[in-house]
A and B are shown apart, each in its own frame.
Chain A
């Protein structure tokens, strides 16, 4: 199989991570990550805590700057621009504009507590001037309907359950009309009985052809929705492939050890 077959030249990769290194002080968090995600693909990233999987996700939308390497989303370099054979950092305004095209869902939801659910979802499209206030609210209502919270538009986030808050956060990410959505352990802060409703919404997105990159500990969910599972340890990709391979017939001892602990 050649690269040309798996990666048609016409459509750029939804996400491309190229030789990314990242240090926190002397601690090396990411140690040369290379990853390509095709449009519409659902990628699940697994790994023990401290393996760098959350950092990798945060590097993608430039919440963290990589020290070496670069990331591009939909063929566009993130946070930097090419200047001859060097990379120059973009202005803050340009980075914010790029982030406005990448959905990000946090472990702790991070909804704005002083705004209603509707205002939370409508904020970004209205504030960036992509939609009028009225159109943004219209879109927000539609998206809340889609995540099953059409009746909660006027509520404040703290009046909702964790599962409902996370679904609002997903609607808020969708309001960006993003080419890709990144999920950073979306169900880790939830009570066990609330995990299902959030996974159902993510699964609905997965089947509708949205490009998703999901960091999670839900192995069963990974098996169900992932096109590809990536196992990270010590800031490196240890192995990757279809869930049937990585989860059922892992080739590396580290993967086997990890799966043995979580399954």
Chain B
């Protein structure tokens, strides 16, 4: 009752075992195909993995005591915080920019379409590091920024050197870059929504904004999510480039500590590696649940969560063991 998959298995096979005499049973039972090749490959992989793990643990070069020392150092955590901040802000701004660019690209106006295409073309072509260093030197190109009538009088004037902190430069640079890629991801998502959905929304007279926000975009998100998470993981790693505009992110902290303590370079790099692994894993977990949420209605039953899967697997195993014990 509580574990349907296990119940289904035992229901399907129980009569063959319990209700029929064993003479007929042996004729009915099918001997599974033996796969020796698979066993050999499995053994080889296990040996290989064991060797790598053994090397990681026993090679003194990794200096795991120094790794432990550095892993939660305030310098490293400060760097991690900067990485998180830059990544989060750029992810949100990049996605918003990407949505606007995608809408412009899909709009009826040829000027908007061309502008969006040109933007994407430009920022996908220029390496991120070039964009960042360009922005870093931006204040030399334009001393002040002002809001006002184009080519006319200005209402508000900003002093560019005060506005452009290292953090702002990093976030703007990454967002500009991210938006170009996000635009294509979002556009692909919108195009994946069935034309009939647009027509039905139009035929019902739903307001234009509602059509996009409540009908088209939620359905587009189903294909946007995996692609955008892919982008996002790339983005988290690209944040390491902000070191070059003198922002001490995770990589920057590790790098500068490494030059102060040259003997600890390897454990410091391991610290950075493990933190990046943790960030990427966290994003993947969030991705699973976001995808599951947007799968509502797209599949007849939602995919099971890992916990549900583990429970079902355990129940199946228990059922199989009790069956084997019975035989």
Contact = CB atoms under 8 A, between A and B. Distances in A.
**A-B interaction:** yes
Is chain B's binding surface mostly helix, strand, loop or mixed? helix
B296 A114 contact: yes
Nearest to B205: A100
B219 A114 contact: yes
Contact of B202 (A63, A123, A159): A63
A104 B298 CA distance: 23
Given A106-B196, A112-B200, A123-B214, A158 B297 contact: yes
A108 interface: yes
B22 interface: no
Interface in A75-104: 92-93, 96-102, 104
Contacts of B196: 106, 108, 110
A168 to B, nearest CB: 12
Interface string B219-238: 10000000000000000000
Contacts of A156: 296-297
B215 A98 contact: no
B215 A112 contact: yes
B203 A61 contact: yes
A128 B205 CA distance: 8
Contact of A98 (B194, B200, B205, B218): B205
A176 interface: yes
A128 B202 CA distance: 12
Interface in B252-295: 294
B299 A158 contact: yes
Given A106-B199, A110-B200, A156-B296, A176 B219 contact: no
A108 to B, nearest CB: 6
A140 interface: no
B205 A99 contact: yes
B122 interface: no
B197 interface: yes
A48 B49 CA distance: 67
B233 to A, nearest CB: 26
Contacts of A65: none
Interface in A26-71: 61, 63
B223 to A, nearest CB: 13
Q: Which among B197, B207, B218, B298 has the highest number of chain A CB atoms within 10 Å? A: B207
Given A106-B196, A114-B297, A176-B205, 5 more contacts: A96-B207, A104-B203, A114-B219, A124-B205, A158-B299
Give 6 nearest A-B pairs by CB, closest first: A100-B205, A110-B200, A156-B297, A99-B205, A110-B196, A104-B203
Interface of A: 61, 63, 92-93, 96-102, 104, 106, 108, 110-116, 123-124, 127-128, 156-159, 172, 176
